[in-house]
Chain A
């Protein structure tokens, strides 16, 4: 059965001209794309219906959905995972320059959500100097915030999903959220309608488009024709009304689109940002990675020493408790622990993201360090401990003067390995809004539409950080190892 499953996963998707294969992110949820509550193996949403309308217009039998992470839609469509990407995909100059992009089929407004108490004071980004503003990473909204960071001094926070920014707004972790009005309204409905306020005046206006591979421009023109047809015959309006996202601005958009005959070639790509322009933000992100890693490791060493001492010297109940901790931590994903500490504990203690990141990484690695130290402590020959006892040293002195120093030598190499691993695992903390090296690289890659240069740069920076550590450890090991 497993073999059949593997074969099924590996089998190439046969290009079936009767099927329009399209990709979107069901994690984005309603009204865009969501798993149908009545039949979770199917998806529904206005993007789903738009895809079906396009398929019909192209003469295809059916539209087949492929799940893809929202931020990877561009790369996946170029890879050929699907023909059309459609899931609240934003119309940006970079996207137009790198892929075949359809005409816009929906106009959205970037709106600010603020806590009710702030609604009278905060009307735009200019009122948010020095305040924390959340949004989804790699979006027009995030670019707006980055621009506002330089001009008005807001503090942009990038999230991997569009639910937690609003949760953190209500919780007081951020002061505002900038996102598409559909997303803001949905969040407000979910939160009970009174949890926060959405400011009427939009910060900016944008459009949703479909994205195809750059080489598919002929098919793109056909899709454009279908979309125009759907605007003219009212079927697109029906879809948007059904999902309660129709408003006056859509009508204006349709009129404008139908007047221009050629696909919006006007927005000729702004020159793709050169790698050089990203270096300062990559350097800043690398510093965050280093800081998170060093602080986490320090915490891991301290807690790990305590745990190991408890396991080696403690009473039975203490040994059992520390064993439970070590096995519990090692047996569950770090990602889960991050979420629990940041979001799960939010009802009890509202930790800042950076602190939560250091705590989660540090407490996780403490379990691994504890096992290293326990092994190292137990590797010190018994006869040496007995010799120390016959000399009259106390247990604490034996640990500090005889057992500890020798154990440290045994522990050094595995500790270095762990630190290098931690340096790389620190990339996980981006899920709780800490923008470190990998996250910054992902943003960079999304913006330029390629992983090649950003990926190489990022790898070089990680290596530049980890290789000297390995060298330092080898030197220390040599120096502390008189037996060599």
Chain B
């Protein structure tokens, strides 16, 4: 079976500085891969490049058959297939502060997938409930705890049902109990057949939950 995500000799340079040099990795469906290494080693950069938020200089990226080439980021109109395939959960959640938790999740359902408000609400409520934040649907982002905000952000990224989920430092703001619960959630997502690529420097979390750990060195 072909891998869901293939990163082949990826290089990213900021001016004369190499941020990533010939990184290669694969993520299969149903697999959790942890990308580890000290701060500044390019973990987040790798995720941002896969999500086409920033350009790369060399190598090749293929997400479920959709290929990204080196050079400037293509216009959004050419990235529609990629957006359907990749969800990204930001380290600081980046929830839309003017929308309730529920509306954060329904935004893409309604305006990208074209679902009716009723349909979208039903999907979003179910997603939030499955992530144990169903009761917080009406809350504003500013009223959510760190753990709640993160789960709403996961629900938002999962709403368009992408096969690949990228997560940037998901345990950064969590207490030990929440970390364990997050691990369970991620394993459940992988059981549904999704591939997960997680940038983290939490060794313990990676060991406990990842199928594979890829170590980046400076």
Contact = CB atoms under 8 A, between A and B. Distances in A.
A393 interface: yes
A393 B106 CA distance: 12
Given A386-B90, A483-B142, A391 B53 contact: no
Contact residue range for chain B?
20 to 34
A147 B35 CA distance: 88
B76 A395 contact: yes
B108 A381 contact: no
B187 interface: no
Contacts of A389: 53, 76, 83
Nearest to A391: B108
A406 B111 contact: no
Contacts of A386: 53, 90, 94
Contacts of B136: none
Contacts of A409: 98
Contacts of A468: none
Contact of A405 (B98, B159, B160): B98
Interface string A62-78: 00000000000000000
A393 B159 CA distance: 13
B208 interface: no
Nearest to A483: B142
B205 interface: no
Contact of A387 (B76, B84, B90, B160): B90
A390 B166 CA distance: 11
Contacts of A402: 96, 98, 107
B43 to A, nearest CB: 16
B87 interface: yes
Nearest to A395: B76
Contact of B87 (A388, A390, A401): A390
Contact of B156 (A383, A391, A401, A482): A391
Given A397-B111, A483-B142, A392 B94 contact: no
A482 B90 contact: no
**Which of A387, A388, A389, A390 has the largest count of B CB atoms less than 10 A from its CB?**
A390
B140 A391 contact: no
B88 interface: yes
Nearest to A405: B98
Contacts of A483: 97, 140, 142
Interface in B77-96: 77, 80, 83-84, 86-88, 90, 92, 94-96
B97 A391 contact: no
Given A392-B108, A395-B76, A397-B111, A383 B94 contact: yes
Contact of B97 (A384, A388, A392): A384
A394 interface: yes
A483 B140 CA distance: 8
Given A383-B90, A482-B140, A393 B107 contact: yes
Contacts of B107: 388, 391, 393, 401-402
Interface in B85-136: 86-88, 90, 92, 94-98, 107-108, 111-112
A392 B98 contact: no
B210 interface: no
A393 B112 CA distance: 6
B157 interface: yes
Nearest to B90: A383
B97 A390 contact: no
Mostly helix, strand, loop or mixed at chain A's interface?
Answer: helix
Contact of A381 (B51, B88, B94, B157): B94
A291 to B, nearest CB: 33
B140 A393 contact: no
Contacts of B97: 384, 406, 482-483
A390 B86 contact: yes
Interface string A446-484: 000000000000000000000000000000000010110
Contacts of B77: 394
Nearest to B53: A386
Interface string A405-425: 110010000000000000000
A482 B96 contact: no
Interface string A370-401: 00000000000101101111111111010001
A336 to B, nearest CB: 40
Contacts of B86: 390
A401 B94 contact: no
A388 B88 CA distance: 10
Contact of A384 (B94, B108, B143, B157): B94
A392 B160 contact: yes
B165 to A, nearest CB: 11
Interface in A149-182: none
Contacts of A390: 51, 53, 83, 86-88, 157
A439 B142 CA distance: 50
A334 B185 CA distance: 62
B92 A393 contact: no
A384 B160 contact: no
B172 to A, nearest CB: 14
A3 B70 CA distance: 67
A402 B160 CA distance: 17
Contacts of B157: 390-391
Given A383-B90, A401-B111, A394 B76 contact: yes
Contacts of A383: 90, 92, 94
Given A387-B96, A402-B96, A406-B97, A392 B80 contact: yes
B112 A392 contact: yes
B80 to A, nearest CB: 7
B83 A387 contact: no
A314 to B, nearest CB: 16
A41 to B, nearest CB: 63
Nearest to A396: B76
A405 B97 CA distance: 10
The 5 nearest A-B residue pairs measured at CB: A392-B83, A482-B140, A383-B94, A391-B108, A392-B112
Given A387-B156, A482-B140, A482-B142, 13 more contacts: A383-B94, A384-B95, A387-B88, A387-B96, A389-B76, A391-B107, A392-B80, A392-B83, A394-B76, A402-B107, A405-B98, A409-B98, A482-B143
19 contacts: A384-B97, A386-B53, A387-B94, A387-B156, A389-B53, A389-B76, A390-B51, A390-B83, A391-B108, A391-B157, A391-B159, A392-B160, A393-B107, A393-B108, A402-B107, A482-B98, A482-B140, A483-B97, A483-B142
